[in-house]
Amino acid sequence: MTASHQPLLTVRGLGKRFGGFTALDGIDIDLRAGERLGLIGPNGSGKSTFVNCLAGDISGHSGSVTFDGASFAGLAPHRRTWNGLSRTFQLPRPFASLSVFENVTVPLRFAGKGGAPRGAVDERARECLELVGLAAKAGKSPRDLTQVDLRKLELARALAPRPRLLVSDEAMAGLSNSEVDQILALLMQVNATGTAIIMIEHIMRAVTAFSERLVVFVAGRKIADGEPRAVLATPEVEAAYLGN
C-alpha cells in the first residue's frame, strides 16, 4: 500500500473509563488526508474525551491511535503536534499574561522541532494572525478579546505548527450567526490548503455545510458514520440525537 492510500488517522477500539464510568467504548474511525469530518452527539457523549485521547491530553485509554502510519502510544501531546495533529480547546485558555501575538508563538517555540529560529517563529505567528483576522489585535491582551476573537486566537494557536489534522472542538458555540459564518469560512479556507479537519459542533447548519462525512456519538459509542444526509436520516440518529 502506498502512503497516499493509507489513512491519515486510524482509531481502533478506543475506550476510556473514568472510574466506573465508560466515556468511550470501542470507537473505530478512519480519516483520509484532507478530509472534512463532522463529529456530533449529545452533551456528554464523549466527543471532547475522544479529542483528548487523540491529542494525548488524557492518558490511560484502551485501543490504538495511528497517525500517518505510526502509533501515537506513549507520545506526549507536543510530540503529536510535531507529527501533525493539532486541536483547539472547547474553552479557550490563552496565557493571560502574554499578548495575542506571543500566545501564537508559544506552540512554535516550545513544541517546534528542535527550536525554530526566532525570525521564522515570528513570521509564522504573524501569518496565522493574518489568516484568522487578528493581525490588528496582535499586541492586545487576550483579556481584551471578544468571544469570537478568543476562538480565532485558539485556531491561530492550533494552526501555527501547520497541522495535517486539525480537531476543532466547538469553536462556534455561543457565537452569532455572522460569527459562525466567519469561523466556518476560516475552517473551509484551512481545509482548502490540504489540512484534514474534524469539526465537533452542535450548530447543525454549520455541521451540514462543512462535513463531507458525519460521525455520531451517543453515550460513548459511534452509532453512525457516513454521508451526512444519510446519517441524519437514520432512525437511530433521529431518535438518539435529534429527536429529543
Q: Does 244 bind ligand ATP (CB under 6 A)?
A: no
Residue 10: CB minimum distance to Mg ion, A:
22
- CA-wise closest residue to 100 among 154, 169, 166, 172: 154
Amino acid at the residue 102: E
User: Which of ligand ATP, Mg ion, none sits in contact with 83, Cβ below 5 to 8 A by type?
Assistant: none
Query: Among the residues of the chain, which ranges form H helices?
Result: 47-55, 77-83, 100-110, 118-132, 147-159, 177-192, 204-210, 228-233, 235-237
Specify the residue, 48 or 195, whose C-beta has the smaller distance to Mg ion.
Answer: 48
* 48 contacts Mg ion (rule: CB under 5 A): yes
Q: Which of 43, 60, 117, 235 binds ligand ATP (CB under 6 A)?
A: 43
Cβ within 8 Å of residue 7, ≥6 positions away? 30, 31, 32
For residue 202, the minimal CB distance to ligand ATP (Å) is: 6
Interface mask toward ligand ATP for 77-96; x: CB under 6 A: -------------x------
| Closest distance to ligand ATP from the beta carbon of 182 (Å) | 21
Q: In whole angstroms, give the CA distance from residue 18 to residue 197.
A: 27
- Tell me the three state secondary structure of residue 17: strand
Q: 12, 18, 110, 118: which one contacts ligand ATP (CB under 6 A)?
A: 18
Contacting positions for ligand ATP (CB under 6 A): 18, 23, 41, 43-49, 90
